[in-house]
Amino acid sequence: MHKFVSVALDVPINKLFDYKCTFDNPEVGARVKVPFGRSTRVGIIVKIFQNIDNSGSYKIKEIYDLLDDIPVITPELLKTSKWTAKYYHYPLGQVLFNSITPIQRKNQATPKKKYEQEKILKPESLMLNDEQLKVVKSIDKNINKYQVHFIHGVTGSGKTEIYSHLASSLLKDNAQVLILVPEINLTPQTVSRFQKYLTIKPLEYHSHLTSLQKYKVSQACRDESQLIVIGTRSAVFLPFKNLKLIVVDEEHDQSYKQNEKFKYNARDISIVRAKNFNCPVVLGSATPSFESLHNINIKKYKQYKLLNRFHKSKMPLITIVDTSVDKPDEGLSKVLKDKMKSELDKNKKIILFIGRRGFSNTVLCSECKTIVKCPKCNTIMTYHKNVERLICHQCEFSQKFDSVKTCCDKPSLVPLGVGTQRVENKVKELFPNKNVLRIDSDNISSKKELKNFIESAANNKIDIFVGTQMIVKGHDFPNISLVGIINIDAGLYSTDFRGLEKTGQLITQVSGRAGRQKSQGNVIIQTNNPKHNLLLKILKEGYEEFSKVALKERESVNLPPYSHIGIINISATSKYKPKSILSEIVKFKKNKSVFVYGPSPAETFKKNNAYSYQIIVGSKSHKLLSEHITRIKLYLASIDSKIKWYIDIDPAQ
């Protein structure tokens, strides 16, 4: 007797499709080849039933082929995916296709190649200090059940060693362990730190792997009951079968949130998976996200504090430079330059941190006083000196510097503000005998460049690092004695409600790079606002006290973590369409504990000739928020297909 199957497809529709299955033993989670319209597609079986109500007018089609004997989606992953689809208001089919690897998305049987475990013979023994031991013991007591453990430990307190210890003792028996890191550049370093203490080699999972490598890791997760995976956010969707521990390192990091297409947060999904596997999840950070602090306060998470640095080095000495008095030359104030000189004379290493990529590296016409903007999307253009071009970081439109003639008759363009490249040039001019390395995504985009960079940093070859966010993420560079934060003001006066939270994390994390080994380090922060309340708070009393005040501000305006919010974003080539549709949506009947702000122009208002507007929908109750968004989504499904929209739950930008 044939059966019927409900199949999820990789299409942006909230719907499953039913087919007749004449093959033996179809299983939930297996891939099938099916007719869809006039094309053939790969689908994933999510339900099997014996009979179907086929009294309707349509004729049920048959599946062409059953592609897997062993399902690619495990029952637990299907459960997580269903939760995820509902929570993020994203189609189940697209959630499931996001979890499988590129090879599995093709409509063919998959290769027989298998991952082979390499044995490492002699793990080093790991001696923990008392603070670390206490945490390990306490987590160990609850190692076989679901609980969120939060390790709030100052930078350099040795959180990684705690994770390694937990992982290595679990891996002595059959167990799978997942370690998430926020950035791909952190994987090599994390792998080598873990593998010292393990008997098996960790598997890496991130976007630099080839399709085949990804496929092998995915197969291993499904088939091997003993392994450890270290990966970036996408690893949270691997088809584990025997997961006993998840670690999310630097949990506050924004990189866990995917901002394109499927807008999930891997930290939050890891908690759902831990619940499904009934295993612990360990979150770690020196600067917990405000969401996590809230969950600690309401006792949802169990908190452990590490107050001391492992190597007993003191926290750095912080100096503030008032840039309205000590005016910077190409980003560098006199105080900073002098300190750099004295540290370099002692053969010490320096980090100079600059806000965003090419931040403020705008070009002004000194004739007509206008700032050069992208002709396609109206974003301020960024000047890149090495290629003599203006590049739009929004749509990547680029133009030769001397060919810009849009502003007036006699354009005379001068770059304003500082970007990484200008600081790099200045530093090279000031210290011609020192090795300077710029680290930003323009400079380091491939695996090879990254490897070179990590090697040269580890080998003490670089004297001065100049860079963006990339620098601060967890790298353990030796010998850094001075960190200069070129300009903190953009963060202090950001329009984003998370601006202050991020700035507090940044100052703490960047400072944590200074003097990690023996001697006390120095941090110099340049600002126009040396009396800023919260800046002083964080410097004098630390991140935790700062966060208490900043959290109160959040509470007073009813923003996360004191409410749940979602963004509805609509864009169209007509400037008026998105706004008028959103104005309709705002009028929808809603529970009185649901609030709506907007419509207002989106952060990136114009992109590739389309205009976007958004509203923010929020509520203290996630359930009510979700219900209201479901109503909105039904309406959106009925509008003109030329109008683009998306929903972003728990937005991070």
Which of Zn ion, ligand ADP, none binds 128 (CB below 5-8 Å, type-dependent)?
Answer: ligand ADP
Site residues for ligand ADP, 140-179, by CB under 6 A, read 153, 155-161
For ligand ADP, what does the binding mask look like between residues 270 and 309, x meaning CB under 6 A? ----------------------------------------
x-or-dash pattern for Zn ion, window 224-243, by CB under 5 A? --------------------
Q: Cβ closer to ligand ADP: 22 or 192?
A: 192
What lies within 8 Å, CB to CB, of 541 at 6+ separation is none
Q: How far is the CB of 219 from Zn ion (least distance, A)?
A: 41
C-beta closer to Zn ion: residue 100 or 610: 610
- Does residue 128 bind ligand ADP (CB under 6 A)? yes
Cβ-proximal residues to 161 (8 Å cutoff; 6+ apart), any chain:
126, 128, 132, 310
The answer to whether the CB of 638 falls within 8 A of the CB of 80 is no
Q: What is the C-alpha to C-alpha distance for residues 614 and 569, in angstroms, rounded to an integer?
A: 4
Selection from Zn ion, ligand ADP, none that 127 binds (CB < 5 to 8 A by kind) is ligand ADP
Taking the complex as a whole, how short is the minimal distance between the CB of residue 407 and ligand ADP, in angstroms? 48
**476 is an interface residue for ligand ADP by CB under 6 A:** yes
- From candidates 310, 353, 613, 645, binder to ligand ADP by CB under 6 A: 310
Closest CA to 30 of 110, 131, 115, 138: 110
Provide the minimum distance between the beta carbon of 413 and ligand ADP in the complex, in angstroms, as a whole number.
43
Whole-angstrom CA distances from 634 to 307, 511, 637, 650 are 50, 48, 5, 20
Closest separation in Å from C-beta 348 to Zn ion: 41
From the list Zn ion, ligand ADP, none, partner contacted by residue 17 (C-beta under 5 to 8 A by kind): none
3-class secondary-structure state, position 349: strand
DSSP at 117:
P
Q: Which two tokens mark 265? A: 């947060």
CB-hemisphere CA count at 13 Å for 476?
16
At which residue do the structure tokens 């959630």 appear?
95
As measured in angstroms, the least distance from the Cβ of 382 to Zn ion is 10
CA distance 340 to 338: 5
Q: Which is nearer to ligand ADP, 294 or 513 (CB)?
A: 513
Looking at residue 61, what DSSP letter applies?
Answer: P
Nearest distance from residue 355's CB to Zn ion, in Å?
20
Q: How far is the CB of 155 from ligand ADP (least distance, A)?
A: 4
CB of 427 to Zn ion, least distance (A): 30
Can you count the helices (H) and strands (E) in the chain?
A: 18, 27
158 binds, among ligand ADP, Zn ion, none (CB under 5 to 8 A by kind): ligand ADP
Partner touching 74 among Zn ion, ligand ADP, none, CB below 5 to 8 Å by kind: none
- Given the complex with ligand ADP, which of 163 and 353 has the nearer CB atom? 163
Q: Which is nearer to Zn ion, 377 or 510 (CB)?
A: 377
Dmax over CA atoms of the chain, in Å, equals 86
Judged by beta carbon distances under 5 to 8 A according to partner kind, the member of Zn ion, ligand ADP, none in contact with residue 161 is ligand ADP
Residue among 202, 535, 488, 160 at smallest CA distance from 354: 488
Per partner kind, with CB cut-offs from 5 to 8 A, the member of Zn ion, ligand ADP, none near residue 115 is none
Among 1, 121, 127, 557, binds ligand ADP (CB under 6 A): 127
DSSP at 251: T
In whole angstroms, give the CA distance from residue 73 to residue 68: 10
Contacts for 452-457: CB closer than 8 Å, 24+ residues apart: 454/185, 454/188, 454/189
Minimal distance, residue 604 CB to Zn ion, in Å: 9
C-beta of residue 566 within 8 angstroms of C-beta of residue 616: yes
Specify the residue, 110 or 517, whose C-beta has the smaller distance to ligand ADP: 517
Q: 68 or 249, CB closer to ligand ADP? A: 249
Distance in angstroms (rounded) separating the CA atoms of residues 248 and 182: 8
Nearer to Zn ion, 45 or 363 (CB): 363
Total residues contacting ligand ADP (rule CB under 6 A)?
A: 16
**Amino acid symbol at 568:** I
Binding of residue 253 to ligand ADP (CB under 6 A)? no
Does 21 contact Zn ion by CB under 5 A? no
Q: How far is the CB of 307 from ligand ADP (least distance, A)?
A: 11
> Which residue's CB is nearer to ligand ADP, number 472 or number 602?
472
Write down the least CB distance from residue 598 to ligand ADP, Å.
Answer: 39
The amino acid at residue 129 is N
Peptide bond into 599 cis (omega under 30): yes
Taking CB within 5 to 8 Å according to partner kind, which of ligand ADP, Zn ion, none is near residue 91? none
> Hey, which residues between 355 and 414 contact Zn ion (CB under 5 A)?
374, 376-377, 392, 394-395, 397
Which of Zn ion, ligand ADP, none binds 376 (CB below 5-8 Å, type-dependent)?
A: Zn ion
Question: In this structure, what is the dihedral angle of CA atoms 502, 507, 508, 511, given to the nearest 10 degrees?
Answer: 150
Buried b / exposed e along 265-278 (16+ C-beta atoms within 10 A): bbbbbbbbbbbbbe
Q: Which is nearer to ligand ADP, 21 or 538 (CB)?
A: 538
Alpha-carbon torsion angle 544, 550, 556, 558, nearest 10: -90
Q: Which is nearer to ligand ADP, 2 or 311 (CB)?
A: 311
Residue 541, token pair as written in the block? 């009393």
Nearest residue to ligand ADP on Cβ basis: 158
List all residues 6 or more positions away from 347 whose beta carbon is below 8 Å from its beta carbon.
none
67, 35 contact by CB (below 8 A): no
- Shortest spacing between CB 305 and ligand ADP, in angstroms: 12
- Among Zn ion, ligand ADP, none, the one that 155 touches (CB under a kind-dependent 5 to 8 A) is ligand ADP
How many residues does this entry show for the chain?
A: 653
Cα gap 460→87, rounded to integer Å: 47
Residue 210, C-beta contacts closer than 8 angstroms, at least 6 positions apart = none
The site partner of 395 among ligand ADP, Zn ion, none (C-beta below 5 to 8 Å per kind) is Zn ion
Which letter, b or e, does each residue of 392-429 get, where b requires 16 or more Cβ atoms within 10 Å of its Cβ?
A: bbbbebebebeebeebeeebebebebbbbbbbbbbbee
Out of 106, 172, 261, 311, the residue judged to bind ligand ADP by CB under 6 A:
311
Judged by CB, which is closer to Zn ion: 169, or 378?
Answer: 378
Number of residues that bind Zn ion (CB under 5 A): 7
* Residues contributing to the site for ligand ADP (CB under 6 A): 126-129, 132, 153, 155-161, 310-311, 476
* Residues contributing to the site for Zn ion (CB under 5 A): 374, 376-377, 392, 394-395, 397
